[in-house]
Structure 1
Amino acid sequence: MDDQGTEAGAGPDAAGPDAAWLALHAAREAVERALTLAQARQRFGSDAAAVAQARREEAELLVDLDRILTQIRAAEYRRRPGSRRW
């Protein structure tokens, strides 16, 4: 068992909806950190190729962040009492 009381190797769904919700927020945080680093590399980079690569990474990370935020909004809706299932 890990420090959260779940079986090691069990996916986030194995511990219930709260674990999946927390995993989404952890993923959001990781993408936001990577996005900040990519933006800093664009701002302070001296190599044109590295700046262009950071710009491409930023675009990919923004797509990932949008996807994760959409999943978080859906998970938050499902956590409400009386939420409808489609």
Structure 2
Amino acid sequence: MGELARWSLKVSRDTDIALRTLLATRGGRKGDLSRFVEEAVNREVLRETIRDIQARHADTPGTDIEQLIDEELAEMRGSFWTEHRR
């Protein structure tokens, strides 16, 4: 997980109870609350990043995007097999 930062958060009592109940039904352990929050934040950051990229490329034809993806995948596959044949 790397270096840790401490956060102080305030949430409604209903949210607190709902989340702690959910974690308890999953056999909650120490650290589960922190892991849940970190995973939720990471998912939301990824969603926002995807939305930003989609907005920037809204005018790009889908065929151009598919071609770029195909080219990058081909390059990555080639380098993967070159590196892992050794």
TM over 0.5: no
Question: Whose relative contact order is higher, 1 or 2, with alpha carbons under 8 Å and at least 6 apart?
Answer: 1
TM-score, normalisation: structure 1: 0.37
Which structure would you say has the larger Rg?
A: 2
